[in-house]
Amino acid sequence: MKKPVIIAVGGGSSSGKTTVVNKILANLGDYPIVVIKHDDYYKDQSDLTMEERRKVNYDHPFALDNNLFYSQLQQLISGHPIDKPTYDFIHLTRAQTTERIHPAKIIFLEGILVLEDVRIRDLADIKIFVEADDDLRFIRRLLRDTKERGRTLESVIDQYLTTVKPMHYAFVKPTKRYADIIIPNDISHDVAVDLIKAKILSILN
């Protein structure tokens, strides 16, 4: 089986990674495609109290189970399906349900730290970093976490100031140097999407 085309999409929290991925998907047609979110590989924390879970630094590379992530990617590349973990952002631990993922010709990997681990970078054929203004990212995160994840305004602000912002500059933003393409998410993506589509198709063919 021919190795799938792997596209790793990194960038800061709420920078617009999913938007960029969706625009690329909409331009690719009917190819078999899989999107895997790095967030689903946050480590299981069922042995911790809720108070302890709230104190975990989720923006540090150690919060993610990259060994499992890398292992399951290798299985997909070899043509084998995986049972991908899923994460419960309400209870801050790995959910008991898994998601069956089958091999595909194109695999998107999306997450703030997806370019941080050299093993993952080496698997990627195309590496993308999505960039957005810090204030815009914070506003998007604030709206998402309060509306979708049951967070309070105070807890979102506290987490942003104590871990999200410092970890962004310590671990996330430095991965921009590994990107083949850097996309600013406050302008049109049309040219970048066309270039990425052309590169994907050239690798497939």
From first to last of the 205 residues of the chain, give the pLDDT tens digit: 689 999 999 999 888 899 899 999 999 988 899 999 999 999 999 999 999 998 899 999 999 999 999 999 999 999 999 999 999 988 999 999 999 999 999 999 999 999 999 999 999 999 999 998 889 899 988 998 898 888 899 988 998 999 999 999 999 999 999 999 999 876 777 888 899 999 999 998 8
d(CA 6, CA 9): 10
Residue 33 belongs to some domain of the structure: yes
Distances from the Cα of 109 to the Cαs of 45, 55, 114, 128, 175, in angstroms? 23, 27, 7, 10, 15
Distances from the Cα of 154 to the Cαs of 55, 67, 146, 161, 204, in angstroms? 14, 34, 10, 11, 47
Residue 43 belongs to some domain of the structure: yes
Residue 54 belongs to some domain of the structure: yes
Residue 203 belongs to some domain of the structure: no
Residue 181 belongs to some domain of the structure: yes
Residue 123 belongs to some domain of the structure: yes
Residue 204 belongs to some domain of the structure: no
The whole domain housing 56 covers: 5-198
The residue type found at 51 is: E
Domain CATH code at residue 51: 3.40.50.300
DSSP code at position 125 = S
How many domains are there within the chain?
A: 1
Based on the number of CB atoms within 10 Å of its own CB, is 182 exposed (0-12), middle (13-18) or buried (19 or more)?
Answer: middle
Residue 52 belongs to some domain of the structure: yes
